[in-house]
Structure 1
Amino acid sequence: MACAMVVNVREFDPSKDRESVEAVERICEVGLSGKVSLFTDLQGDPICRVRNSPTFLMLVAQIGQETVGMIRGCIKTVTCGKKRNKLPIYTKLAYILGLRVSPNHRRMGIGLKLVQRMEEWFRGNGAEYAYMATEKDNVASVKLFTHKCGYNKFRTPCILINPVYAHPLKTFSNKITIIPLAPHDAEFLYRNKFATTEFFPRDVDAVLTNHLTLGTFLAVPRASFWADTWPGSARFLADPPSSWALLSVWNCKDVFTLQVKGASRVKKTLAKTTRLLDKALPWLRLPSIPNFFKPFGFHFLYGLGGEGPEAHKMVRALCAFAHNLAKDRGCQVVATEGSSREPLRCAIPHWKRFSCDEDLWCIKRLGEDYSDGSLGDWTKSPPGFSIFVDPREV
């Protein structure tokens, strides 16, 4: 009678596991709603996608001396609702990402064992909820978390991706002024305007001062008083212009790169043709396709929001500004993620081919909710119009 294989799950040891983890990553390509197949290069740091979180852990699964899977997790405090006086209600939230199982070792319960061990660590560190993100069409992942691990489908944000062209985009500088904000000014604006948004991190100051945040930018009408002087966020909010918008830029390029795999020679040729035409006829501003078939970096836009009847125009100007920043820094893509109900979503330029209308976030209650009791069970709450996507978990 054959002996069952023993799966050992333990904490990742960079001195022993780096090469074997990278090998598993290389054979576990991920897709985007079945549209493209991506390979993620973590640039020699398997923990890079959670390293900037306040508390994090990586586990590996081994059979004998062979690494067959891994999982990453982090914990932070976020907004999960608001009180009647519009103050935020915070909860300790855990996030699962980077679950990988070698193709030759799937359907053996390894993924389930990794998730269960990670949840034990979450509970031991006081997390009240855990959530994960996956593609809605990833049947195996959805089944694992919803059928076997007790997670509920919770939110369906959209991922919006726009290529970076060889030419700069217009920022409407004759009508709109874009103001770079110091981290303390950006924090003041975020805490005063967006702190009750779901998933807003209590330590947003740590995000804004992180070396990967390239800046926070505020768009205002050029004719407004604020276009010529900046006395600080407090005075700005005391008398804001009729419309404004802001966003922050996170540099994912310095964390990991992506590469499209499996594209046909015809598609590669067509993509190259668009780049050649754009280079030869730059005044036409043709929508060329960057070279996604070699490792490429991208910038992630977070904290996007605004107010007023012209906020959509402000967002478009900010996205053009972010595009040009990415172009200057050698990135091939600008991406963002937000609620599918976000009012400003239609102002964000993106290519539908590369984007995802409905990502899937699943959530699980790990223990009692230790907030003030006015919220109840967050897993049963209806979605709001906006969510705050933490760039540390991209």
Structure 2
Amino acid sequence: MRTEQVQKIKVVVREYDADKDLAGAEAVERSCEVSQSGAVSIFTDLLGDPACRVRHSPAFLMLVAETVGPKKEIVGLIRGCVKTITCGKRSPRPSATAAAAVPIYTKAAYIVGLRVSPCHRRKGVGLQLVEQMEEWFRSSGAEYAYMATDKDNEASLRLFTGRCGYTKFRTPSLLVQPVFAGHRLPLRRAVTLVRLSPANAEILYRRRFSTVEFFPRDIDAVLRNPLSLGTFLALPAGSGWTNIHSFIADPPESWAVLSVWDSQSLFRFEVRGVSLLRRGLAWTTRVVDRAVPWLRIPSFPNIFRPFGGYFLYGLGGEGPSTAALMRVLCRHAHNMARAGGCGIVATEVTACEAFMPGIPYWQKLSIEEDLWCIKRLAEDYSDGAVGDWTRSAPGNSIFVDPREV
């Protein structure tokens, strides 16, 4: 690792050592706000493992920036992971009319959670962390690097698009729904819910979603991870269910699917910067909901102290009723989160998805245009049928890996 003069401080960027860096890394995390909406900020508190947000990926690294001198101090950190994902698809030959499109894979790296303590910002620390992480990405064979940030995060955009060569790429919507602790949400009787085994879920995802951008080649590892709480398929009542092979061969006119990931076991959130008046109104809704639960008042959860959440991934479906079926799946996930003691349920999808109207969310808690930026790392790359992926037009869908959230 290298040591450089950064204005008035010297830092060394090195690999994170859990035995001696835990307290310093946690201090940096706690000093940083990860999302802002007006005067409201959402703070993330990792549960004892600063590397937990990448540890479930096939290849990962965490770096820290430490000041040089008699009093060493960790002032920044960055996490990254490398995996193989879909970056496009090849259409079947004209003669093979029954053949499906073939996914084109690339090795890509994802930057997770760049943090620099507030008193050491604008001194080149973030740039050094990104450059060192990109060196590891290249040595691991990654052809692209990408990251996600709030479109209003000027400091992050200034660093990545202004100094590091990233370009704005995709703008999915990060949708957040509070969990109403006072009651379960009713499910429609006209809908049949089927819980798929990890093996059957893998078959469905590979057959139906493998050509979607960012689809992970190791989807089997995601679905079999202990944090993946299940995959659920919604069908119109009466359509029948025999097995996954029969479903794929002859699906009903409408269907929807999603999987649930336990983010609560990795980190907690806390909303800050909310006025006492709004806190009081939220408290009132909870009191009234507990007093008269039969009214099913949408009480606002106590998100002003640490709370956890579930993340919904692998959302998809087809047919004219897919939005209605997705709404039932989201309600089922909400009830799972309620039983698990969560404060929110979240997901990230593109706005043009047909099932989008079926996803409930609160605008105040959501980011309707999350910004993903990308950079080409390799000079010669294997995805020749796509060309330079950074210049490709967006598709209708995007697969958000829950290990990166």
Give the TM-score normalised by structure 2: 0.94
Residue 359 (structure 1) aligned with residue 375 (structure 2): no
Q: How much has 1:322 moved relative to structure 2?
A: 0.4
1:95-244 matches, within 5 Å, as 95-165=110-180, 166-172=182-188, 174-226=189-241, 230=242, 232-244=243-255
Q: Distance in 2 between matches of 1:60 and 1:320?
A: 40
Aligned to 2:268: 257
Q: Distance in 1 between matches of 2:355 and 2:159?
A: 34
Q: How much has 1:267 moved relative to structure 2?
A: 1.6
Tell me the alpha carbon deviations over residues 225-266 of structure 1, each in whole angstroms, 9 at most, x when there is no partner. Answer: 22xxx3x21111111111111100000001111111222222
Residue 26 (structure 1) aligned with residue 30 (structure 2): yes
Q: Distance in 1 between matches of 2:172 and 2:251?
A: 29
Q: Is the 8 A contact 2:254 2:317 kept in 1?
A: yes
Residue 328 (structure 1) aligned with residue 357 (structure 2): no
User: SS at the partner of 1:353?
Assistant: helix
Task: Read off the aligned partner of 1:42 and give its amino acid letter.
Answer: L
Task: Read off the aligned partner of 1:297 and give its amino acid letter.
Answer: G
Q: Is the 8 A contact 2:106 2:383 kept in 1?
A: no
Aligned to 1:70: 77
Q: Distance in 2 between matches of 1:372 and 1:62?
A: 38
Aligned to 1:87: 102
Task: Read off the aligned partner of 1:209 and give its amino acid letter.
Answer: R
Q: Is the 8 A contact 1:35 1:354 kept in 2?
A: no
CA pair 34-53 structure 1, distance change in 2 beyond 3 A: farther
Q: How much has 1:324 moved relative to structure 2?
A: 0.4
Q: Is the 8 A contact 2:168 2:372 kept in 1?
A: yes
Tell me the alpha carbon deviations over residues 318-358 of structure 1, each in whole angstroms, 9 at most, x when there is no partner. Answer: 00000001001100100000112222111100011111110
Instruction: Give the aligned CA root-mean-square deviation in angstroms.
Output: 1.3
Give the TM-score normalised by structure 1: 0.96
Q: Is the 8 A contact 1:32 1:354 kept in 2?
A: no
Q: Structure 2 stretches of 5 or more lacking a match? A: 1-5, 93-100
Aligned to 2:327: 316
CA pair 369-215 structure 1, distance change in 2 beyond 3 A: farther
Q: Distance in 2 between matches of 1:4 and 1:356?
A: 36
Q: How much has 1:279 moved relative to structure 2?
A: 1.1
Task: Read off the aligned partner of 1:69 and give its amino acid letter.
Answer: G
Residue 13 (structure 1) aligned with residue 24 (structure 2): no
Task: Read off the aligned partner of 2:135 and give its amino acid letter.
Answer: E
Q: Percent identity?
A: 60
CA pair 310-143 structure 1, distance change in 2 beyond 3 A: same
Q: Structure 1 stretches of 5 or more lacking a match? A: none
Q: Distance in 2 between matches of 1:163 and 1:6?
A: 44
Of the three residues 281, 298, 304, the one matched with 2:292 is 281
Aligned to 2:3: none
